Amino acid sequence: MKESRNTLNPVRLFACALLALIFSDHAIAQHGKTNHAHVGIIYPLSTNGKTAALDTNKFSLHLIAGISQQEDICLIAGVSGIVKGDAHGTLVSGVSNHVGADANGVQIAGVLNQIHGRAQGAQVAGLLNSTGDAEGVQLAGLINKAGDAGTQVAGLINIAKKVKGVQIAGLINVAEESDYPIGIVNVIKEGEMQLGFTADEQGNAMLALRSGGSVLYGLLGVGYHFGYEEARYVIEGGLGAHLVTAKAFRLNAELASAAMTNFEDGVYGRQSLRVLAGCRITPRFELFAGPTFNHLLFESDQPDIRNDRYLWKWQGDDVFNGFYFGGIVGVQFAL
């Protein structure tokens, strides 16, 4: 019996080794391996081959597109980088970056950054950033879209839930909470949106939308000039800030820029700094008024629409510049 057991030992050892090898290969196939570098053209034409989607890489370089389970330091792709799990460090792709879980670091793409989980760091895209919650900065030529966000800067639209930092958009900011939106129109659930009518000393009557958060708001207005025919139609945009809020009273400051024209002769440009004191008669109805400091700019061959009433003026061969004090009164309703 002893001899029989001894002759079986090598067989048992071989079987155990074979099983260990099988289970080891199975584990690698399921969980992948960690590589210092992953270089390729497009999946599966790369140094990681068919297991690329399961592997973790320190550095990846792909001529067209690459796929991995996790990136730890840097990924560079001519077209797209696809990370099924987490991405750490820097991702740079000519067209798009796609991260299936969380991203920590910097993602730069010519068109799109798409992060399904939480993003910490910065996302820079030529067109669109789309993330879960985001901590840091999102910069996009067109649209940023996130859950909770830090700072968003977009050429057109920002969309988020709660924003801790600043939202800067060329057109629209949308959020549940955002204290510092900078855009022409700001749709903030916990903020304000008011439609108002104003008149100033120069004969401009304006219908204006003021929208924003608890600190900053945007201004968009259209109007009619009852004075000079050459400056008959007015369009205005600007940025305002709530300086003091105390029950029914508040003090606001606004920077606004207006273009005035009859669409035939020329354009008058006016930049204004306003300090406005407001009183809420009801929760939805507010009266306000205040002084303004203005700069008027127009071509030298155009008529002077203020009849030489300036604090200071300068006229060159091409343009006229004048500075003057004015005033504005208005009423607005909360939407």
Q: How far apart are CA 84 and CA 237, in angstroms?
A: 44
Measured distance CA(33)–CA(52) in Å, rounded: 9
Average pLDDT over the chain reads 90
CB 102 within 8 A of CB 117: yes
- Band the pLDDT of 329: cuts 50, 70, 90: very high
The two tokens of residue 4 are: 């029989």
Q: Which long-range contacts (CB under 8 A, 24 or more apart) does 111-119 make?
A: 115/87, 117/86, 119/146
**168 three-class SS:** strand
Does the structure show a pLDDT above 90 at 164?
yes
Rounded CA separation 176/248 (Å): 24
Report d(CA 153, CA 114) in Å as an integer: 16
What is the per-residue DSSP string for 205-229? Answer: EEEEEEEE-SSEEEEEEEEEESS-G
Task: Grade residue 266 by pLDDT with cuts at 50, 70 and 90.
Answer: confident
Q: What is the pLDDT of residue 308?
A: 82
Residue 262 has pLDDT above 70, yes or no: yes
Residue 9: pLDDT band by 50, 70, 90 thresholds? low
Q: What is the pLDDT of residue 228?
A: 84
d(CA 273, CA 162): 30
Residue 265 pLDDT class (50, 70, 90 cuts): confident
Question: Alpha-carbon distance 278 to 288, whole Å?
Answer: 4
Three-state secondary structure call for residue 293? strand
> Is the model's pLDDT at 52 over the cut of 90?
yes
pLDDT per position as a tens digit, 223-250: 999 888 889 999 999 999 999 998 899 9
Which top CATH class is 192-334?
mainly beta
- Give the number of other CB atoms < 10 A from CB of residue 159: 20
Give the pLDDT of residue 38.
Answer: 96
Per mean pLDDT, which range of 14-28, 117-131, 205-219, 236-250 is the poorest? 14-28
State residue 5's pLDDT score: 44
- At residue 281, what is the residue type? I
Long-range contacts of 300-306 (CB under 8 A, 24+ apart): 302/230, 302/265, 302/266, 302/268, 303/228, 303/230, 305/202, 305/225, 305/227, 305/228, 305/230, 305/231, 305/260, 305/268, 306/202
What six digits make up the tokens of 182?
């900078």
Q: Which two tokens stand for residue 149?
A: 């966000």
**What confidence tens digit (pLDDT) does each residue in 64-96 have?**
999 999 999 999 999 999 999 999 999 999 999
Token code pair at residue 297: 């700019």
User: Is the pLDDT at 169 greater than 80, yes or no?
Assistant: yes
The number of C-alpha atoms within 13 Å of 41 and in the hemisphere containing its C-beta is 2
- Domain parsing of the chain, residue ranges: 1-31, 34-188, 192-334
> What value does the mean pLDDT take over residues 32-58?
93
Distance, CA of 201 to CA of 272 (rounded, Å):
13
Q: Which of 6-10, 23-27, 72-76 has the lowest mean pLDDT?
A: 23-27
DSSP 247: T
What confidence score (pLDDT) does residue 12 get?
57
Do residues 150 and 135 touch, judged by C-beta distance below 8 A?
A: yes
What percent of the chain has a predicted confidence (pLDDT) above 90? 83
